[in-house]
Amino acid sequence: MGISLIIAFLYGSMIWGILPIEVGVSWESHLFGLLTGIFLAWNTRHIDRPKLKDWRLDDNLDDYFPEDDGGY
């Protein structure tokens, strides 16, 4: 939670780049970049994500790795 607050504090001021505060700064490109990012995030929210693998060990490891007789 603390890291999220720090990131929001550090990068939260980027929203002011949309408003025309300084002469010579292209605020239109920042505005349309924001709108494009929101649009793409909204349209791709239902794309299937890869399933996470279950990395826990099985209870039946002997089925996969039988005891070795000592020879290769």
pLDDT for the residue 59: 66
pLDDT for the residue 26: 75
Distant-in-sequence, close-in-space partners of 31: CB < 8 Å, separation ≥ 6: 18
Query: The tokens 């693998």 sit on which residue?
Result: 53
Report if pTM > 0.75: no
Distance CA 3, CA 10 (A): 11
Per-residue pLDDT in tens (0 to 9) along the chain, 72 residues: 888 888 888 877 777 666 667 777 777 887 888 899 999 999 998 888 777 777 666 666 666 666 765 555
Q: What angle do CA 67, 69, 71 make, to 5 degrees?
A: 130
Distance CA 72, CA 66 (A): 13
Distance CA 35, CA 21 (A): 19
